[in-house]
Structure formats: structure tokens, C-alpha cells
Amino acid sequence: MSFAEKIRLYFITDGRSHGHERVAEMALKAGVKTIQLREKRLPAREIYGIAKRLRRLTYDYEALFIVNDRFDIAISVEADGIHVGQEDLPAKAIRSLIDEKFPGMILGVSARDLSEALEAEKYADYLGVGPVFPTSTKEDAREVIGIDGLKKVCSAVKVPVVAIGGINHSNVSEVLKAGCTGVAVISAIAFSENPEKSAEELLNLIENSNKPHKPVNR
Ligand SMILES: Cc1ncc(COP(=O)(O)OP(=O)(O)O)c(N)n1
Ligand SMILES: Cc1nc(C(=O)O)sc1CCOP(=O)(O)O
Ligand SMILES: [Mg+2]
């Protein structure tokens, strides 16, 4: 499976509903092929423990494992990649370290607009672009960019774009039509009563939005 196929549905964990490991395993069982560990409340030692367990799980399911924010934890558990935003360690510094010491490691960088995206793509393997829609999952989320904002970035950059922020079953097809490679979700899976079913349904919607429109023969 190519990198683009793997990031088509990109699940970011949140431990508050079902716990990181359980929710990640349910998403993996459904067929999700990229998992990011995002944990903002726990001490580094606990995040490290969770990361080690998610690393094992993602190996078993042949899925990519990305760690949010913490490059130290990402390299300690041999994650496939690290995701940083505009307030985190600079992408340029991480790119230098990756090239020198961790070749092949994936670097994802958040961008909200064209100028951030054009700067970030100098270093990134993919961009996380949003928030496309309002979200209550990220407390310090910036102003929404909407489908138009997303389209502008997608048409201007060369690296794959993963759209993020308020993406769910009812808007995922519209988001993919904006030209992004993938969609990242938290609450649509993590805060669902049945994460496995929600992930399966999202994957089906994504699969169907890949199919070209069939003209009706009259
Ligand atoms: C795939 C993806 N895109 C964007 C983000 C957001 O990163 P950041 O802006 O650093 O915000 P936090 O997630 O750290 O609160 C992401 N994590 N993943
Ligand atoms: C982690 C994160 N980053 C965002 C950004 O805009 O960079 S929005 C966001 C939260 C995404 O959660 P949900 O799918 O529940 O809306
Ligand atoms: Mg961050």
C-alpha cells in the first residue's frame, strides 16, 4: 500500500473516551492504516509507555505510527514519523535531524494558510491543513479555513495534504473533493460509541468517493 493510500484515513487518538490503545486497536481492526498518538495531559513517562504499546500494535496491523509533538518519544519508540505544528519544534530543525540521523522517518507539519504551507512543504513529507470546520477537540484551534481555504492550499503545494478539523461522516466526501490526499479525524472515531464501526463507515465513504462518477446510459 502506498503512503498516499495509507494516509487516506488518518486517525489521531484521544485517550479520554476509550483509552489510546483500545481506540487505536478498534480503528486498526476496521482497516485504518495511519495512527497518530496525540496526548496533551500525561507526563512524558506515561506517553512513552502508550507509544511503545501503539508501536507494537501498528506493526501488527502494518500501519504507520506517528507521534504528535514529541520528537524524543517518536525516536525512542522507533515511530514511523513525527507531526509538529507552528508552535512546536521547528520543522527545519527536525528535518535536519531526520536527514542526518533518522533517514526515512516521516515528518508531518501543520499549516493553516498558503504562506505557512509553502514554508512547511520545504521540510515536510505531508501537511496537516485546517481546521477545515469548527472543532471542539483542539482547545487552541485557529479560525476555520473552510473548503475554500483547503482548496487553495491543496492546489498550491506539491506534498500530500491531510485535511483536519471537524471532519466526520457527513462532510468527508466534500472534503476529499477539495483535492486533499487524506483526512485526519479524532472525535468521529475516538468519541464514537462504536469506534470500529465508525472507522469502517468512514473508510467506506472514502472508498466510494474514489470511484469516478458513472454516467447514466440512456
Ligand atoms: C495530521 C495533523 N494535522 C494537524 C495537527 C495539529 O498539530 P498542531 O498544530 O501542532 O496542534 P496539536 O495537535 O499539537 O494540538 C495534527 N496533530 N495532526
Ligand atoms: C488536532 C487538531 N488540529 C487541528 C488543526 O487545525 O491543525 S484541528 C484538530 C482537532 C481535530 O479533531 P476533530 O476531528 O475531533 O475535529
Ligand atoms: Mg503540536
pLDDT at 57: 98
CA distance 110 to 162: 9
Number of domains in the chain: 1
Query: In 3-state terms, what secondary structure has residue 36?
Result: strand
Surrounding residues of ion ligand 3, Cβ less than 5 A: 69, 85, 88
* Residue 121 forms part of a structural domain: yes
CA 31 to chain centre: 15
List residues bridging with 106 in a β-sheet. Answer: 81
pLDDT at 218: 52
* Residue 216 forms part of a structural domain: no
Confidence band, pLDDT 50/70/90 cuts, at residue 6: very high
pLDDT at 214: 53
* Residue 217 forms part of a structural domain: no
Pocket test for ligand 1, best of 82, 87, 110 (most atoms within 8 A of CB): 110
State pLDDT tens for residues 186-204: 999 999 999 999 999 999 9
List residues bridging with 210 in a β-sheet. Answer: none
Q: Is 30 exposed, middle or buried (0-12, 13-18, 19+ CB in 10 A)?
A: buried
* Residue 130 forms part of a structural domain: yes
pLDDT at 121: 98
Mean pLDDT of 156-170: 98
pTM, whole model, 2 decimals?
0.96
pLDDT at 211: 61
pLDDT at 13: 98
* Residue 215 forms part of a structural domain: no
82 has a pLDDT exceeding 80: yes
State pLDDT tens for residues 102-131: 999 999 999 999 999 999 999 999 999 999
Residue owning grid cell 495531559: 41
132 has a pLDDT exceeding 90: yes
Is the CB of residue 36 below 6 angstroms from any atom belonging to ligand 2?
A: no
54 has a pLDDT exceeding 70: yes
* Residue 218 forms part of a structural domain: no
Amino acid occupying residue 137: T
CB neighbours of residue 140 within 10 Å: 6
Among protein residues, the one whose CA lies closest to atom 8 of ligand 1: 85
Domain residues for 202?
A: 3-208
* Residue 213 forms part of a structural domain: no
> CATH number, domain at 28?
3.20.20.70
For residues 20 and 13, is the Cβ–Cβ distance under 8 A? yes
pLDDT at 215: 56
* Residue 214 forms part of a structural domain: no
Query: In 3-state terms, what secondary structure has residue 141?
Result: coil
Which positions ≥6 away from 35 have C-beta within 8 Å? Answer: 11, 12, 13, 24, 27, 28, 54, 57, 58, 63, 64, 65, 66
Query: From the alpha carbon of 84, which atom of ligand 1 is closest?
Result: 10
